[in-house]
Amino acid sequence: MNFFSIIDQLAAADADFLGRFDSRRVIFKHFGTAAQRTALAATPLFLGGLFQKAYAGTNADTPVDILNYALTLEYLEADFYAKFAASGLIPAGAPTTTLGKIKQHEDGHVKLLVGTITALGGTPVKAVQFSQSVFDANKTYAALLGIAEVLEDTGVRAYKGRAAELVVGASNGLSASTQASLLTTALQIHSVEARHAAHIRFMRGQTAWVSNTDDVASNAAYTGATPETNTIQSNVDLTTKLASMYSAADVAAAFDEALTPAEVLDKSRAGGLVQ
């Protein structure tokens, strides 16, 4: 991805575009070398989050609020995988090994977020549990693997929706180094969730990314104010700007669209899976 080329194209389409980023320059200051800044700018999470922040209003949530939001999702995922592991439904061999490893990751995410929130002087939210009734109603290996896919895909989009808010300059009272550390934590968890999602999709015989040929057309979890079929980023239709290189399907598949907290907690997604 040529980040700076894309920025040039967006600036040409929107005269106010560069001005929208003026208050976001602090993000780049957290990463010391040119190589680090270039690597950060090349990540879809950073790029999408930056676009969203540039065109969004000011968010009043504190870093602790945002981390507790993430912790709620991690609690839900950790409890789901604990129930899945105890169900006796997972085939021996690679599935057991893979899902066991994912469970370990989710438990680790919970521990990391609890520790980070506590270190910031905050209070971790109370743990939530995965709905037992939903679990029992889908008590086959295939059905539960499908739920795992939705959980992981939702987690990826949830982190994309809020990670950039952890870096907002001095207004949250945290030092630049602390903000950089928080952003690093969020990006690390986000990358692991994305790998979980890709591998579970592979286990289900699908593409490793969300696409129109999977569940997008029929599953409400893949809708939202910005659905996963979207080809427009920062008010620019990339199928027009990049038509010579990428199809609409390619463009849609390249971005996991961010979800707002209300969308994540909607009953079609995480809200419908909480006990």
Q: Is the pLDDT of residue 5 over 70?
A: no
Structural domain that includes position 123: 63-213+257-272
pLDDT of 150 over the 80 cut: yes
Query: What's the total number of domains in the chain?
Result: 1
Query: Mean of the pLDDT values across residues 209-235?
Result: 78
Mean pLDDT of the chain: 81
Domain-embedded: residue 169: yes
Helix then strand count (H, E) for the chain reads 13, 2
Q: Please write the tens of the pLDDT for every residue from 161-201.
A: 998 888 875 566 788 889 889 999 999 999 999 999 999 99
Rounded CA separation 164/270 (Å): 21
Of the ranges 47-56, 179-188, 240-249, the best mean pLDDT one: 179-188
- Would 4 be classed as within a structural domain? no
Q: Is residue 168 part of a domain?
A: yes
Residue 259 DSSP symbol: -
User: In the predicted model, what is the mean pLDDT of residues 111-138?
Assistant: 97
- Pick from 90-94, 151-155, 221-225: least confident: 221-225
Specify the pTM.
0.76
Amino acid identity of 29? K
Any domain includes 227: no
The reply to whether 149 falls in a domain is: yes
Q: State the Cα–Cα distance between residues 102 and 107, nearest whole angstrom.
A: 9
* Residue 89, both tokens: 């439904």
Any idea what the CATH number is for the domain that residue 152 is in? 1.20.1260.10
Residue 113 inside a domain? The answer is yes
Q: How many residues does the chain have?
A: 275
CB 269 within 8 A of CB 221: yes
Give the H/E segment covering residue 57. none
User: Is there a domain that residue 132 lies in?
Assistant: yes
Are 6 and 50 a contacting pair, CB within 8 Å?
no
CB 129 within 8 A of CB 230: no
- Looking at the domain assignment, is residue 223 inside a domain? no
Question: For residue range 225-243, what is the model confidence (pLDDT) as tens digits?
Answer: 888 888 898 889 999 888 8
